[in-house]
């Protein structure tokens, strides 16, 4: 009994600093945003209590609902790139015997580069005047691609921003998957080989099912991060052209700090919290049903 109590104290000692930081910077911020959402306030001066008027306005705001759709598309693309491609890259690394450390470093470099630098790099790569590398390569196969607009094209700007975010964090999830794959017990792999399984069957029937909890955890992390994503979209496209690549977070920022509608911006922030919780819990329920099926 004393040993168990001692373990709990040790766990609490390690969890307490992170819990305090989380409460101060997340929970308190959400509570204050919820409080401000009931006021008409420019961020300075007197606040005017208006009840749920901000939420009623939000329910009728067509631009906000468009940003919800954009954010969901953005999130799906990020999940595909960061989780699926991250898993494929991790599988590739687990099969490589020479130069593995160099490849790991190269794949992880975008994670440590700042978002500003990443966006500047892609702005140059996708440039039209002067012609960027991407357009120069594509123009070899189709000359009209030399003048293809990417960032300022309302039809593709959202997908470009999502691709850049997926590219930036792909290496992070690749490392997590790689660590999980090399932790798969060797006896499981040997048993699969004895049963006549080829390499693809070993991964599909043994290793990937074994690391399924890691896959689910990474999906939740990507969902949570993508639904709240701000920096890449804002730096690369500023939500444009028009509102073509506007996300919930960039729209919230513009309403609160550009239009000085702090109360309305806070109501958007609360809507983001609710949507993140709904999507997160829904995904969790679906994944739990998959486990019990």
Helix residue ranges per DSSP H, the chain? 2-22, 28-36, 53-59, 62-79, 86-95, 100-112, 115-125, 133-141, 157-182, 186-194, 199-202, 208-210, 212-227, 231-236, 248-253, 262-292
279: closest CA among 220, 203, 211?
Answer: 220
- Cβ neighbour number for residue 93 with a 10 Å cutoff: 19
- Separation of alpha carbons 133 and 130, rounded Å: 10
- Separation of alpha carbons 93 and 4, rounded Å: 40
pLDDT of the chain, 293 residues: tens digit per residue: 445 545 778 888 888 888 899 898 888 989 999 999 999 988 788 889 999 999 999 999 999 999 999 999 999 999 999 999 999 999 999 888 788 888 888 889 999 999 999 999 999 999 888 888 999 998 889 888 888 899 988 999 999 999 999 999 999 999 999 999 988 888 888 888 888 888 888 889 889 999 999 999 999 899 988 998 999 999 999 888 889 999 999 999 999 988 899 999 999 999 999 998 898 888 888 887 766 55
pLDDT for 70: 95
pLDDT for 3: 54
Q: Which two tokens stand for residue 129?
A: 């005047």
For CA atoms 106, 108, 111, 113, give the dihedral sign: negative
pLDDT for 2: 47
Cβ proximity of 229 and 158 under 8 Å: no
Three-class secondary structure of residue 287 per DSSP: helix
Query: Mind listing the domains of the chain with CATH numbers?
Result: 67-286 (1.10.3720.10)
């Amino acid at each position: 009994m004393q040993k168990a109590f001692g373990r709990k104290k040790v766990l609490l000692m390690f969890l307490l600093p992170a819990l305090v930081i989380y409460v101060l910077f997340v929970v308190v911020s959400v509570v204050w945003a919820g409080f401000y959402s009931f006021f008409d306030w420019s961020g300075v001066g007197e606040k005017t209590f208006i009840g749920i008027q901000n939420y009623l306005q939000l329910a009728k705001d067509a631009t906000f609902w468009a940003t919800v759709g954009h954010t969901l598309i953005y999130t799906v693309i990020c999940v595909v790139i960061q989780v699926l491609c991250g898993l494929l890259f991790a599988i590739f690394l687990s099969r490589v015997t020479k130069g593995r450390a160099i490849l790991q470093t190269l794949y992880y470099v975008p994670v440590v580069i700042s978002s500003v630098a990443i966006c500047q790099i892609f702005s140059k790569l996708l440039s039209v005047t002067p012609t960027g590398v991407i357009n120069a390569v594509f123009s070899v196969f189709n000359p009209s691609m030399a003048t293809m607009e990417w960032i300022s094209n309302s039809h593709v700007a959202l997908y470009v921003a999502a691709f850049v975010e997926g590219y930036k964090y792909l290496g992070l999830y690749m490392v997590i998957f790689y660590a999980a794959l090399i932790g798969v017990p060797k006896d499981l792999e040997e048993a699969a080989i004895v049963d006549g399984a080829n390499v693809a069957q070993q991964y599909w029937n043994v290793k990937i099912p074994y690391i399924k909890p890691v896959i689910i955890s990474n999906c939740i992390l990507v969902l949570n991060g993508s639904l709240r994503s701000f920096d890449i979209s804002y730096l690369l496209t500023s939500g444009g052209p028009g509102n073509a690549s506007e996300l919930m977070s960039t729209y919230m920022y513009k309403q609160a700090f550009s239009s000085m509608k702090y109360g309305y911006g806070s109501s958007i922030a609360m809507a983001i919290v609710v949507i993140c919780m709904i999507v997160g819990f829904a995904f969790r329920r679906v994944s739990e049903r998959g486990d019990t099926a």
